[in-house]
Amino acid sequence: MDEVAFWVGFNLVPGIGPKRTRLLLDHFGDLAQAWEASASDLAAAGLDKRSIEALRETRAAVSLDGEMARIRETGVTLLTWNGSDYPKLLREIPSAPPLLYVRGEVLPRDELAVAVVGTRKASVYGREVTQMLVRELAACGVGIVSGLARGIDSEAHRAALDAGGRNLAVLGSGVDVIYPSENRRLAQRIVENGALISEYPLGTKPDARNFPPRNRIISGLALGTLVVEAGRSSGALLTVQHALEQGRDVFAVPGNILAAGSRGVNTLIREGAKPVVDAADILQELNLNMVTEFVEAREILPDSDTEAMLLAHLARETLHVDELSRRTGLSISDVNSTLILMELKGQVRHLGGMNYAAVREARTNYRVES
């Protein structure tokens, strides 16, 4: 049996999430052995009695062959922590989901994305601003990540699709259960131009408790999170909290100070979020002004030992090409050609006079009011 089946199996066990999955992998080496392990061996790995009993019950009730057949019939792709196709940005966050169910396709270029979130009760202003900003971002090759909810989420997905942009929608249900139901056609369009993504097994209903955890995936798949319109109690602020914990940038569209639906975004700006009036504010902050060139450059030349060597030196200080050549032992021509490609990828910046520095992401220190 393919080992991914055991990842599916553990994903069905109540109470076994990222932390316990990591314990099992560290102890057993793979989940196939963990699935067949005795209670004493599972306890030695660090599982508590409740988790061991939940695993025992799941093993008795679930046919992994049957579950895998259902997944294949649904046309779903499975991405695991140890797979090369698992999203790079998401892998970096705390509590990254061990297993993702995907309808559609997640591409390497999807890491050049911005999450767009906001209230379900969007105003005319919120919808217009979302359309404008998302169209501008998509036109520059930036992908959009959101949650397929009513309001700002749906508006962001539609605007990106209409502009020919990439789309990732993260669900609080199984990828075969579309919520809200009126977004079924929208979901199909996303599958054709991106992917529906969930950590929840097939058939999972959109229970309210599923949505706060899924917000960490929305922010985790993106370089930054944009909040278009949100009141003080908006669920979009949970996504912001996750973005901050993940060290990702947060952007907010200023709103009417008299409107209750704008109090959340205006508070974010007061606390230090980057105010946004056009897409250029986001592109400049995330160094995505040349996103099309980034994608082309990555297709031409993947990350290499030479790039890693140059970044190791530039991470500490700004250096001239001649000094980089001296320190690395590379020829001037090799250093120059590699730096040009690295600049297109957004890894380094030319400061003039053949001096280069590593690109460092600006971080803000602010919090979301509780």
pLDDT at 302 (0 to 100): 47
Domain ranges of the chain: 4-74, 108-285, 291-358
pTM of the model as a whole: 0.80
pLDDT at 100 (0 to 100): 98
Q: Residue 262 CB: number of other CB atoms within 10 A? A: 24
93-103 per-position pLDDT tens digit: 989 999 999 99
The answer to whether residue 187 scores a pLDDT higher than 80 is yes
Tokens of 210: 């599923």
Contacts of 94 (CB under 8 A, 6+ apart): 245, 246
pLDDT at 364 (0 to 100): 40
pLDDT at 347 (0 to 100): 79
Q: What fold is seen in the domain 4-74? A: DNA polymerase; domain 1 (1.10.150)
**Angle value at C-alpha 302, between 297 and 303, nearest 5 degrees:** 115
100-132 per-position pLDDT tens digit: 999 999 998 898 999 999 999 999 999 999 999
Query: What is the rounded distance in angstroms from the CA atom of residue 22 to the CA atom of residue 10?
Result: 12
In CATH, what is the architecture of 108-285?
A: 3-Layer(aba) Sandwich (3.40)
Q: Could you tell me which residues are beta bridge partners of residue 100?
A: 79
CA 21, 26, 30, 33 dihedral sign is negative
Indicate the class that CATH gives domain 291-358. Answer: mainly alpha
Does 4-74 match 291-358 in CATH topology? no
